[in-house]
Structure 1
């Protein structure tokens, strides 16, 4: 519903793990270093723990993806422990190309060992077991013996246990004490802090095609962090519900009050594990500590597939672009006004600079120059006699001839001059 309203290309807070939305928090980055270090040093056992919803499965999928891209094909991911030890052996045998597969576990295990011995390249096999805390003691004991197999001082099996913190308590039992001793290092995924929570929310929005809408205020993110306790799955649940409420009310920005309404809806749909995570949060229980984490792993390089550029400074990249027409966004209106003002100021500044350059080079506007300017007065124009402003009225010509004296004398021609 809200995908159409907010013009999103995907669900930003999809609960299913996907490697293309792998967010590298500070704790996930260290966990990744730990896994790479353990694989490079060829340790037989690695243990990665974390509470429900912390992204353990996503780390497994990312490790599986990176390994195959690097050409490591002898790697098997066990997503569920329901298959038992026999199911795990069949997965290993199928990956190694062993066929046909016997039903007897001991025979199948011997066939796997024989295949290792027959190979001259001595390549290792990586086994990633998710939800290892659900394995029974018998299966764990058999896995220990599987990993201890060696030939020519070479141990081909590397097992990565990914589990809930309760798995560490299981390892302390007397039946698994030898397995516990063989685990040299282990790492625990701690919860997000407030900064990681904020970056995570905007990272997921960016990955879903959002361009500034919807947005979460700092107060809203603070409430989401307090409610979720920094657990990514709970962050997804509350943010997804917030967007659903926001879209139904035509909200471009999610206010803190919506978080309270979303909390009531989410609490009724939590699983038992998520409820337990909330109880741990409310009780102030410590999320766990890093055990024997080597400092030299900090020099390891994060693969390009993991070191996504958009995972850094994601808040700065989350800029508003095109908002849905039905969403009221005053911030965009103010932003456009400021942009127009900046353009006008820039044009005025350019005109002023060009004017100064033009005046200085051509000296065409003396009023703007600092030099003293001398002016020459124009001489007065002589006024012709005929140039009379108010000419006298024209007198009509009188053609009446006035007789002269000589005309009055009889016998005297008028054209003969008189003698003096």
Structure 2
């Protein structure tokens, strides 16, 4: 809906990862350097971790889009807590290898033959495993064994493991796998000063010509809510632009940002008058005001609970003293 209203050619803040919208933030730039280094080595594991929505999938998509497709055969597997046999089957299917009802040994043999053929044609083979934190030890061990496959003294398969932060902790207890990791990087949230360039970058790619205009104060409010996580920013901006289109707004300020946040979180902060409000229309206040109000309410509730506990304690002490006097 907001695409047509603002004259955009596509949805700039869709939640589905899209390498077209890759933004070279400081942490993504560093991660890309590690991935490039890993590809140059042609062996072992590269581990990239980050919070949900930090941009791990978009990052690897950008990397693979930048590599010569004639020299790299790559596939991606999203793990769903599969055991070793199912992991092999998923990998084979990802590379286009027929598995039918083949047993584990035959599937492994077919994978190795495929990788050898790719190597003979001068092509590198890359496996990207997403959501690696969900993999059981048996599947991780299978991946380690696959990484050991060699031909003419060079590895046949390189593996990128993408996972949430807890995967780094799991690696510490998997010594043999950890020894095969040649580089690792944790994707941090974007810095506050990167939020505006990120938003402008994605809007520009779909033909944004300055409508709507964002006030300078809107970007810190967006950062405060999202914490610099790209997916959180995308979700919030989609709602902001939708509200903007519905209200036919040409300016996005903190009041609009707060309305979108309240809409997303089903929060109902006290409404205040906004500069873009029409007659009889209320615009919610900044997100900071809503959070402060919620915090004050929690503090008040805690104080009431504490007073009740103290009153009960006083009653208990007084009763104990009366019993002592009557003894």
Q: TM-score range by the shorter chain?
A: 0.7 to 0.9
Runs of at least 5 residues in structure 2 that lack an aligned partner in the other structure: 268-327
Superposition deviation, residue 182 in structure 1: 2.1
Task: Name 1:74's counterpart in structure 2.
Answer: 73
* Range moving further from structure 2, 71-80 or 213-222: 71-80
More helix by share: 2
Which runs of 4 or more aligned residues in structure 1 lie more than 6 Å from their structure 2 counterparts after TM superposition? none
What TM-score results when the alignment is normalised by the length of structure 2? Answer: 0.74
Task: Name 1:226's counterpart in structure 2.
Answer: 224
Deviations 1:248-289 (A, max 9, x none): 2222111111212211111249xxxxxxxxxxxxxxxxxxxx
State the distance in 1 between where 2:95 and 2:195 align.
42
Q: Report matched runs for 1:141-156 at 5 Å.
A: 141-156=141-156
Contact residue 32 and residue 59 of structure 1 kept, 8 A = yes
Deviations 1:135-159 (A, max 9, x none): 1111001111111223443221211
Contact residue 122 and residue 154 of structure 1 kept, 8 A = no
State the distance in 2 between where 1:143 and 1:158 align.
10
* Number of residue pairs aligned between Structure 1 and Structure 2: 266
CA RMSD for the aligned pairs? 2.4
Runs of at least 5 residues in structure 1 that lack an aligned partner in the other structure: 270-420
Give the number of the structure whose alpha-carbon radius of gyration is greater. 1
Deviations 1:340-385 (A, max 9, x none): xxxxxxxxxxxxxxxxxxxxxxxxxxxxxxxxxxxxxxxxxxxxxx
* Range moving further from structure 2, 138-147 or 8-17: 8-17
Judged with a 3 Å threshold, the aligned counterparts in structure 2 of structure 1 residues 123 and 84 are, in CA distance, closer, same or farther, namely farther
Task: Name 1:255's counterpart in structure 2.
Answer: 253
Superposition deviation, residue 95 in structure 1: 6.5
State the distance in 2 between where 1:54 and 1:140 align.
23
More strand by share: 2
Contact residue 123 and residue 156 of structure 1 kept, 8 A = no
Secondary structure of 2:155's aligned partner: coil
Task: Name 2:207's counterpart in structure 1.
Answer: 209
Task: Name 2:187's counterpart in structure 1.
Answer: 189
Secondary structure of 1:218's aligned partner: coil
Secondary structure of 1:184's aligned partner: strand
Task: Name 1:330's counterpart in structure 2.
Answer: none
